[in-house]
Amino acid sequence: MGPEDTEYQRLKMRERLDAQVARINELGAYTVSILKQTLDNARSAYYIITLMNKVMFFTGVALFAASAIYGAAFKDLTRSLLIGGLGAANFIALFLLGPINRTQNALSNLVQTEIAFLNYFEQLTFWEVYALAPRGNPPVPDLKNVARASEQLQIRTEETIELLERYVEHSVSGKKAKRS
């Protein structure tokens, strides 16, 4: 093997490393982009739900006030009670249906999901670097490392899916989340 072969192998190895670094950077940028976009969506959903709760509250107050004014102005007890009942139903719906608790639970689930995905992406990056680490002369990726990285990524994928099912899907579906 001559000096040209060694230089060629170094050049190829450098190209592989550059491609790997570029992929890691792209994955990192994508992860940050997803996180920002998801948190922005969650923030806007939270504000919209909060606004809807305020509208429901003030609608209930307005219906109570309207029933009092209507009853006093027109001496119509039936319609006044109907309007007041609508206001009471509005308040009951607001407090019994618990949209605020559901919103907080949804935000908590969102954060848990983000943590799971960020951890998964970190593991993906880590195991990719491990799999492509050069060995020998000429330096080439070790097939044992590739096999181990693949196996570990399968395990991490299963763990991430299990955690999402346990803590997010079960809480959304109303089933009791299992704690281990």
User: CA distances (Å), 157 to each of 122, 126, 164, 173, 177, in order?
Assistant: 12, 14, 11, 22, 20
How far is Cα 169 from Cα 164, in angstroms, rounded to an integer?
A: 6
pLDDT at 39 over 80: no
User: CA distances (Å), 7 to each of 2, 17, 18, 68, in order?
Assistant: 9, 15, 16, 91
Q: What are the pLDDT digits (tens) for 46-66?
A: 788 778 888 888 998 899 899
How far is Cα 78 from Cα 125, in angstroms, rounded to an integer?
A: 69
How far is Cα 80 from Cα 38, in angstroms, rounded to an integer?
A: 46
pLDDT at residue 173, rounded to an integer? 60
Task: Please give the average per-residue pLDDT across 140-156, as a whole number.
Answer: 90
pLDDT at residue 174, rounded to an integer? 58
